[in-house]
Structure 1
Amino acid sequence: MLREMCTMPGRLRGRLLFFSIMVFSLHHWQVSATPSEAAVLAQLKNMWRAAPSVVKLWVDAVDACHGPWPGVGCALTDNPTIQAPCFILNVNCTVVSLKIPNGNLTGEIPLILAGLSSLQHLDLRGNLLKGRVPPELLDSFPSLSFLDLSLNYFTGTIPQAQNATFEYDTWTKNCFSSDNSCELAPQMRPIADCRRETSLQLQPCDSWTRKHLLLLIVIVLICPLTVIAILSAIAIYYWRSRSQQAAHFWQNRSPLRAPDVEATPQRSVCKQFTHQELHTATNSFHHNCLLGAGTTGIVYRGKLDDGTNVAVKQLDTRNSGMLINDEFWNEVKVRGAIRHPNVVTLRGFSKGLGGCDPMLVCEYMPNGSVLDALLSDSTPLRWPRRYSIAHGAAVGLEYLHEHCRPPIIHGNLKPSNILLDRDFTARVGHFGSVRVAKVSQRAVVTTLGFVDPEYGVTGKLTEKSDVFSYGMLLLVLVSGRRMLESHPSGKPQLLTWMQLLAKAELAELIDPRLEGNFDKHEVSLCAQIVLLCTRIQPELRPSMSEVRRILEGTMPVPISGSLDTPVSSSHTSFVSMSHFSGSYYGSSDCL
């Protein structure tokens, strides 16, 4: 061949020599090339070519490393940390990075990736890859320092590579389960998304009960016993304290068991104030502190040194006919010992020595009286509150009649004497004023509210007198302030309302200010109680405990063949409310 080349023309001989050198060079460099990496990239291209990603830009006519293909990074083996263009078939050229994020790649992660053993950077985040990630795949990349497979749908558990050490790796927002395979690992996708996109199967987790069965048994057995022991100790302590208080209370009241009180109890919770203390408390009885006035005196709002608001009643002994003596003050101290949530507490008194008027100091009721509430134009009393007031007044009267020794007769029950505390709880006030004050018969008639017809005959007040007055109070709560108003002729309209009640015309009887918002059963129950309480014969009227039980629904309404309602006689006993000048407890600008 050399002899033939020597006989060739010079120009042709030079061209042939150059071609021979090029063929020899190519053969020398490609003998030890890495066709496995080229094959891996070719297979990946075929697998992912349908996805709208950079894989579509992998063109066969362009060398994967020299082009390079988008997302493929190559380097020479003698300097692998610096990516540089090279030919994929070159023995010193290797793939060091594969970055295809957010490429909509689907299916499982290809195991042929293990053929890219020189990878240092693998980024497949934000795709739709599913299935498990085999740990042996990661062990195929001893030089891998960056791995990001987040935002896919891989399942199973997060693999732990044995031979690879990553400087950065993230598996978040996948569907990997925890080690116990009963719940997803932290920072994964919502379990609903995982179940919708994958065939995720989680094992049932051991419940807290199964894990802590022994502890649960201890809690179930020990805690109730501990609670029972504590409650028993509290009950015993409370019972002993109440027993001691009751014994002390009745011991102090033992001289007062007889109707006529002659001795002062040994100890009393009713404080005696000086006139100066009450003068200071009421800001010198300033008119801004005035709460109201009645036939027995004037009432002011006051504030004691400890900040307690009180009502100070200045008794009018000159015009009311009240007889103030030692018996009166002994009875006052007895009233001061009464403590009940439905009875106004008498906190103290002042004897008014040196020409000063005597005074009584009671709890201050910020919401005034039932009379104030019914006459108010701003906010009418709703039916549930009226029914609650009726029940509270019944409980208070029951306490005075059946739980006090001797029994206490109110004798002056009317809307202005049922007071309302901060929570609109009914509190019976000004009880026993007739018996205590020993007022004249004329004074009694002008101060009593709804008078028992029996009183006009006998001149005596009994518990049944209070029951009658309570029935009239209940009628006022049902019919509203119309009952307190007078007819154009000047006569009270009680007869009209009683006739409506006897005819069971409740639609005409009910207060129109309720606007139809009331419980028909409760209104009917109240109407029946009114008829029972206002019977002409006192012995046919129920006791206050029976009234209370009827209101609570624990006792049926007594059935009677006829109810002798006081239609013909009650109106003669009804006292017009026009002489009232306000309740004893109301709002005030004092202090």
Structure 2
Amino acid sequence: MEEIGIYEFPRLVSFYLPQFPIVKQQMNLPINGKMINLRNRLKNLKEKGQQEGKWSNSTSRNINIYQRKSLLIISSTLLLSYLLIYFQAALQVLVHVLASDIGNSTLLKELVIYSNNLTGTIPVSLSKLKSLRIIRAGWNFLSGPIPAEISKCERLEVLGLAHNRLQSSFPIELQKLENLTDLVLWQNLLSGEIPPEIGNFSSLEVLVLHDNSFSGSLPKEIGRLTNLKRLYIYTNQLNSTIPRELGNCLSAVDIDLSENRLSGFIPKELGQIPNLRLLHLFENLLQGSIPRELGQLKRLQKLDLSINNLTGTIPVEFQNLTFLEDIQLYDNCLQGRIPPFIGVNSNLSILDMSTNNLVELGQLRNLERLLLSDNYFVGFILPEIGQLVQLVIFNLSSNRLSGSIPYELGNCTKLQRLDLSRNRFTGYLPNEIGELVNLELLKLSDNSFSGHLPCTLGGLARLTELQMGGNFFSGSIPVELGQLVSLQIALNISQNGFSGTIPENLGNLQMLEALYLNDNQLFSEIPVSIGELMSLIVCNLSNNNLVGTLPYTPAFQKMDSSNFPGNYGLCGLNVSHCHPLSPSWVKEGSSKEKHVSIISVTVGLMSLFFTVGVCWLIKGRQLAFVSLEEQVKPEKVDNYYFPKEGFTYQDLVESSGNFSEDAIIGKGACGTVYKAVMVDGKVIAVKKLKSHGGGASVDSSFQAEISTLGKISHRNIVKLYGFCYRQDSNVLLYEYMANGSLGERLHGNEQTFLLDWDTRYKIALGAAEGLCYLHYDCKPQIIHCDIKSNNILLDDSLQAHVGDFGLAKLIDFPYSKSLSGVAGSYGYIAPEYAYTMKATEKCDIYSFGVILLELITGKFPVQPLEQGGSLVNCVRRSIHAAVPMSEIYDKRLDLSARKVIEEMSLVLKIALFCTSTSPLNRPTMREVIAMMIDTRKSVSNPPSSPTSETPSDEDDSSRG
């Protein structure tokens, strides 16, 4: 194979090789400092591919490899697998090439090599490239200092080195670059002070230094940058005041100095920057009042001064900001009223003034997010609230509001989150609250609401959390609550006056994790269906009048006895004291009355038990007869779609004990999974899908989907053997996984958790390869839509298999999961889904990143609200607060080996990439696999510390 160095392209002016996922394959290619002639080699492969029929005309049109005059371009929108391997192998020599040969391409004008996992230092030989205008080498693993020699590239306009491991102080020498317009160095390990010489960068338009460790003062000389348009220095350790000279940057469009330690006052001079669109100064130590002059920023769109110590009132001049879209002033000490006409003449959609001392609302229109919690607002919610028809989030919690909720609130049908908790509201809940069909969170706790809960609540099918504790609700618990099948985080109606029995159909809430019914007046027994909720973690039933035996189920066996005190008729499991004949509802009275009551209750219970026992025996025999003689008998309406297997419905019934409770190995939103041992000893998993009324049904499109999924074969995908449709049920037959799910292993008891990091790494890599297969090798592409640790199943050798793929598309389950039928499970849902309601492969990437965090930390994906509410936020907060890595990692792991620590650190960085807020910043599954493989091979390199923030959504020029 002919090899050629870059120096043999002496007239090369541009070298583009961005966003390439390097995997170091075993190719036995000589590493001799010369780059392979990609153009000739690809030409040969292209010709060979066409001869073999592997390269179609359409393919060739998507591969562009050409040298035109002095420009070499390699661009591709479609790469065959063998080309991919070849590119990856060729790129192994790129680092050495850059270090030794690139200085010979003296006419080179543009060097674009970002997102390639490159390591090593920046070559000093770049200083020879006198014609160089653009360097974009961000999103790599480059280390060491920024060479002062780069200042010799006199024509350099753009220097992008973001998201690397560069360690040095601010490169003062770069001030010699008179043409430099863009300096992009975010998310490195740069430290020290920003020098006064920054004022000499006279042509600078973009300065991006965020997510480093710069300290000291923000130099006043920055005000000399009259061409500066974008200034991002957030998430550093600056500890000075904001210089008033910053107001001289009259060309500025965006200024973000948030998340530092800046103190003092906000300079009024900032109000003289005519085109300022964004001003973010949140999470500093700023004090004093908000300058009225900020009301002169006529083009201001986003203002965030939250989490400071600001006092005084909100300037009335803010009413004049007609372009304002987002204003956030929460967590300050502001007083007085919200200006009455703020947002009236603009497209204001986000207003967050929580945690202040405000006392009066203004006239707000066009809002999507109204957040005013933790203030001193008094008065009522007026009927005009119904005019805010665009409202998505409404939070008035922790104020002093009173009165009833106006029925006009039902007009706000776009509402997804409604929090009126911790106020002084009274009266009945209006029936119209059931018209808020998009609600995901409803919190009305700690008020003085009374009366019955409206049955219309059962129509809130997307609700994931319902909090109504600490009120004066009475009557029975509406059976309609059993229709809220998306409830997952909590159902809390504690500390009210509910009476009667616990509805049996609360057992339909298959995803519910916390149930609070404590401190009411409920009586009778606990429904068995509640005990069968396998997702249930907390079930507080204390201080009621419940009797009988606690359900002997796995969910209740794990619960602490503190969930049940104050029910003197309860016994079993962890409840040590049981007084079934002295329930608290036996009122005080004479001794004779007590004896009569006890005798009556005793006789009544004995009669009831005898009657129930006889009925049970008779019914049991009848059911047994029906099961053996009728249900097992195949009917003409059965349909089977088994590619290879010859199971019948009768086989399934017999092998699973007629789908008995003992055979259950899992329950989910789509159905129940049973273990079935066939006559020949083969073990399979049978998922019995939920029926939604009207009997089961199947059509040609469903059959086609089953046929497609049945053909999928990959070592990391759970094999779908087939599907059986019967008049009363639909069942899917899967390969049986002996070691259950990853979720069970991580969060189960001490005997089952995964002991070593190596096992966890291999499971993560296997799951990634399975998901990659769904994304890239299935035609049509399959978006999983519900990636979570419970859907990563483990065989007898602990190899990972992705399960439940394709179900989101197959199953007509309109309200499954936490947001919609294809949204995923709480804690794993990508943030953009709440706004787009569209599932993409980047949603799967986010969910996979959460699984990586589970493997690293050993924690659940849902965390307490005070820790961020989710594992992603919890980890990012910990990193931002400089919490030691040893406190983040799972303490059950053996962390004594340096290799393990380094590898976990790199996988943590991958997890943070995957869970970036913006889907554009997330890698593909191919890139994830590449990074994971490279991680294992490069643990000898010192890992960087992940940052607490994912990259912001800046335009391409600031990406590095």
Using the size of structure 1 for normalisation, the TM-score is 0.46
**Structure with the larger strand share:** 2
Give the structure, 1 or 2, with the largest relative contact order (CA under 8 Å, sep 6 or more).
1
**Structure with the larger helix share:** 1
Task: Name the larger-Rg structure.
Answer: 1
